[in-house]
Chains A and B, each alone.
Chain A
Amino acid sequence: MSFEPVLTKNVGHPEAVTLEGYVARGGYESLKKAFGMKPAELVQLVKDSGLRGRGGAGFPAGTKWGFLPQEHPGPIYMVVNFDESEPGTFKDRYIADNDPHQIIEGVIVSSYATRASGAFIFIRGEFLAQAKIMEKAIQEAYKGGYLGKNIQGSGYDLECVLHRGAGAYVCGEETAMLEALEGKRGWPRTKPPFPAVEGAFGKPTVINNVETLCCVPHIINKGATWFTGLGTEKSSGMKLYGISGHVNNPGVYELPMGIPCNELIEKYGGGMRGGKKVKAVIPGGVSTGVLTADELDCPMDFEGPIGRGCLGLGTAGLMVMNEQTCMVTVLRNIVRFFAHESCGQCTPCREGAQWMYRILNRIIEGEGTIEDVNTLLELAETQGALPGKTICGLADGTAWAVKTIITKFRSEFDAMVTDNVAIGN
């Protein structure tokens, strides 16, 4: 089946970075249709399309929008999650690099659908070049009458502000993002209240990932049935897959949801570097856990990785490891990340990740024991918002990485603690 790129159709057309070039390639087309519809009709359209969040959790976007209070007298805000800090993820950066106005178009129609009067695009602080691109695009959109008062004569007003983060992975968590937006430390909030009821500046707020919002104009243009015709039953539409690690052609590839993992690696990632074999693949950022070489038939939709013990599809940023990779070292790298990024509010996450990091160091230095490996698994059980032990999902990422890597590659851990043998070294 041949697939015409949608989200990446402007890649290779550098003129599309400017407003003029973007419009010439069919950009901002969806506004006409959207402004002819009622916000509630647009929410229904997005519900019908089955669009699920592309930021990691896969929550249905239309359903989330439906949680907003119906007769709210005050302002509603849209917050765009451009934090993109999950290791293995670089798809939103790719959109901004190639097609910044697509993001703004998505923000406008989605804000209109949710009756938002202000949109805050929260971009991670390290994306300096992308912040400049977005700032320029926003200025152009204001000048062209796509932002500000009475957008394209529709009577709809929307203000849009780019807000830079300052280096903290946890700010990708939606309520930590709201805190950072409000000028505070990025500490996730306890829920409820959920942002749809009380979010940014105490007002009802929708938070969506960049890629999620970019899908909306295309759904408006081509219809919900077109979108559900792509992908699988429970994971409709197209997806930006990122591939990195030991492959020949790391990069972003747009495909319908559900493509098997091995096809992605072979056909798009260009196969393994040096003709080596695959040992393990992380399906969507280090929070999601790991797939083994025997599980590569896994369809890369929202269900596939879950069916194989992973936390989920995550961000669909695949990290591919070859047969010479030491999985104990891989786990240490991941746990170091979570130990570094824990915001420190919850004891299991703050202490647990540090403790696991020290254990893994000990094991790698040849001082580990079988009990150490069991302690790692035990600590993983104490982590996470899913089992109700922590405020946010950061610790679930730690837990899933530890659980899946140790259970799926137990023999490597055992070999290292009993014989001090590292695989691949």
Chain B
Amino acid sequence: MTWESIDRLTPIDQPAETLLDEAFRKDILDRAAKYPAKRAALLPALHAAQEKLGPLSDQVMVEIAELLAISPADVLDTATFYDMFTREERGRHLIGVCESLSCELCGCNELLDALTEKLGITPGQTSNDKRFSLVTMQCIGACDFAPAMLIDGELHKTVSVEHLDEILRKYT
């Protein structure tokens, strides 16, 4: 989780068109109808918006707020609490290396060092060519395959340093 304060004095540039199209809106409202309260569709909406449009911009949050009839501040408040939502530009592929106990016991630090050497970035950074961002993650529920790593959500099991080149080649 992260804490964040926003500049409320500078007006947000209002784009000529909305970012969320009709199909997207309908989809979210359909989802919302499955819950007793509209706001419950907020996590699904944020997931969908980030998947479609990338990092969550102020404008996207304002539009989601309108859609679910809550305030933009509530959307920001929720979005910034969760690790999976991001406000920052990332590389084309997101590498997440688990750093919790079983993975540390099984060599995630060696893996992180090798990634840092290969990509020239430390956790939290994006490579210059924007191909990869690297982050550490807390236990990803794959301790039986430690050290475990997610790339764009896809699980890579029992990863050894020797495997890295072959794994990374897939992600251009």
A contact set with B: CB distance below 8 Å: 75, 84-90, 92-93, 118, 124-129, 159, 161, 163-169, 180-186, 201, 203, 242-246, 250-252, 282, 286, 317, 319, 321, 325, 329-330, 333-334, 336-337, 340-341, 343-344
B104 near A125: Cβ-Cβ < 8 Å: no
B144 within 8 A of A: yes
B137 near A330: Cβ-Cβ < 8 Å: no
B66 within 8 A of A: no
B100 near A337: Cβ-Cβ < 8 Å: yes
Chain B residues 136 to 169 lying within 8 A of chain A, measured CB to CB, are: 137-146, 150, 153-155
A183 near B141: Cβ-Cβ < 8 Å: no
B26 within 8 A of A: no
Question: Are A87 and B139 also in contact (CB < 8 A) when A166-B46, A244-B102 are?
Answer: yes
B82 near A168: Cβ-Cβ < 8 Å: yes
How far is it, in angstroms, between the C-alpha of A129 and the C-alpha of B145 when the chains are bound?
Answer: 15
Residue contacts A-B, CB under 8 angstroms, 5 given = A89-B139, A90-B142, A182-B37, A183-B39, A183-B43
How far is it, in angstroms, between the C-alpha of A238 and the C-alpha of B64 when the chains are bound?
Answer: 45
How far is it, in angstroms, between the C-alpha of A54 and the C-alpha of B155 when the chains are bound?
Answer: 25
How far is it, in angstroms, between the C-alpha of A338 and the C-alpha of B145 when the chains are bound?
Answer: 22
Question: Are A183 and B41 also in contact (CB < 8 A) when A85-B139, A161-B35, A319-B105 are?
Answer: yes
How far is it, in angstroms, between the C-alpha of A169 and the C-alpha of B154 when the chains are bound?
Answer: 20
How far is it, in angstroms, between the C-alpha of A332 and the C-alpha of B68 when the chains are bound?
Answer: 42
Contacts of B139 in A (CB 8 A): 85-89, 337
Chain A interface, >50% SS class? mixed
How far is it, in angstroms, between the C-alpha of A186 and the C-alpha of B1 when the chains are bound?
Answer: 10
B100 near A250: Cβ-Cβ < 8 Å: no
How far is it, in angstroms, between the C-alpha of A343 and the C-alpha of B82 when the chains are bound?
Answer: 10
Report B165 CB to chain A, min CB distance, Å: 24
How far is it, in angstroms, between the C-alpha of A184 and the C-alpha of B46 when the chains are bound?
Answer: 12
- Kindly list 7 other residue pairs between chains A and B, CB separation below 8 angstroms, not including A126-B150, A167-B84, A203-B36: A88-B101, A89-B141, A89-B143, A128-B154, A161-B35, A166-B85, A242-B144
Report A203 CB to chain B, min CB distance, Å: 8
Return the chain B residue nearest A122 by Cβ: B43
B36 near A75: Cβ-Cβ < 8 Å: yes
A330 near B101: Cβ-Cβ < 8 Å: yes
Chain B residues 26 to 69 lying within 8 A of chain A, measured CB to CB, are: 34-37, 39-44, 46-47, 68
B141 near A164: Cβ-Cβ < 8 Å: no
How far is it, in angstroms, between the C-alpha of A183 and the C-alpha of B153 when the chains are bound?
Answer: 22
B141 near A85: Cβ-Cβ < 8 Å: yes
B37 near A251: Cβ-Cβ < 8 Å: no
Which of B40, B84, B104, B154 contacts A183, CB < 8 Å?
B40
How far is it, in angstroms, between the C-alpha of A314 and the C-alpha of B137 when the chains are bound?
Answer: 22
How far is it, in angstroms, between the C-alpha of A185 and the C-alpha of B85 when the chains are bound?
Answer: 12
Contacts of B78 in A (CB 8 A): 183-185
